[in-house]
């Protein structure tokens, strides 16, 4: 199996900030038995957690919309629609995402259920995202949300029918990977509560 025999030959620190950017030279045994030598730039950063809250009575989900500089630098000119998410900062995932949901969405979630873990971009970062679904209702609203302005957060809260969110994936209005995966999981988990999404035809 590839990845069982890995040897780190050299590590160079390129930058330190919220994470650490490194240039790593390593070798590993490939599937054909050959030893492969590579150099890669890796960004070591704190793991994260994300959630999509679902209201089974109304068939709606809560999402966020905010400006993301890396997406803008890549040429995308819209704000990104995403699942509520945040860095763990030393907390366990469930504790952190309940806190993040109150800050960003303004709702106190319940019936939190683990969906899956995923690597956000395994070719260049160590980040793992723990993904959850949860339930909410209008009665669970505790604030207007929006995140912490003192931390540079200016987050718009979106409440959408689940089928509408699916169509936004199809049209490219939602293109954040963790959000796409969590929307699919939400549909599968709560299939009896909502009608199947009506995808648009073509683009």
Are both 32 and 70 inside the same structural domain?
Answer: no
Exposed / middle / buried, residue 202 (Cβ in 10 Å: 0-12, 13-18, 19+): exposed
> For position 152, what pLDDT does the model report?
66
> For position 149, what pLDDT does the model report?
74
Are both 153 and 114 inside the same structural domain?
Answer: yes
Residue ranges in the chain modelled with pLDDT below 50: 196-203
Closest to 24 in 3D by CA, of 119, 128, 129, 125: 125
> For position 2, what pLDDT does the model report?
58
Are both 16 and 75 inside the same structural domain?
Answer: no
> For position 197, what pLDDT does the model report?
44
Structural domain boundaries enclosing 15? 6-44
The CATH number of the domain where 110 resides is what? 3.90.79.10
pTM: 0.88
> For position 190, what pLDDT does the model report?
84
Are both 88 and 135 inside the same structural domain?
Answer: yes
Are both 34 and 129 inside the same structural domain?
Answer: no
> For position 50, what pLDDT does the model report?
98
Evaluate whether residue 14 is within a structural domain. yes
Evaluate whether residue 96 is within a structural domain. yes
Evaluate whether residue 201 is within a structural domain. no
CA dihedral of residues 100, 102, 105, 107 (deg, nearest 10)? 140
> For position 87, what pLDDT does the model report?
95
């Amino acid at each position: 199996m590839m990845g069982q025999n890995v040897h780190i030959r050299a590590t160079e620190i390129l930058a330190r900030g919220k994470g650490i950017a490194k240039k790593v030279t390593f070798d590993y045994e490939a599937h054909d038995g050959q030893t492969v030598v590579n150099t890669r730039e890796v960004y070591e950063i704190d793991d994260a957690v994300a959630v999509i809250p679902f209201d089974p009575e109304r068939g709606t989900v809560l999402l966020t919309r905010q400006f993301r500089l890396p997406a803008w630098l890549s040429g995308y000119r819209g704000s990104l629609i995403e699942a509520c998410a945040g860095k763990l900062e030393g907390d366990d995932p469930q504790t952190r995402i309940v806190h993040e949901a109150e800050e960003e969405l303004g709702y106190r979630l319940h019936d939190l259920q683990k969906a899956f873990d995923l690597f956000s971009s395994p070719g260049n970062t160590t980040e793992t995202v723990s993904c959850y679904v949860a339930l909410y209702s209008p009665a669970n609203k505790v604030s207007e949300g929006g995140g912490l302005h003192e931390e540079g957060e200016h987050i718009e809260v979106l409440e959408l029918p689940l089928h509408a969110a699916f169509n936004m994936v199809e049209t490219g209005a939602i293109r954040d990977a963790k959000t796409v995966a969590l929307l699919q999981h939400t549909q599968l988990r709560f299939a009896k509560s909502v009608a199947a999404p009506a995808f648009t035809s073509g683009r």
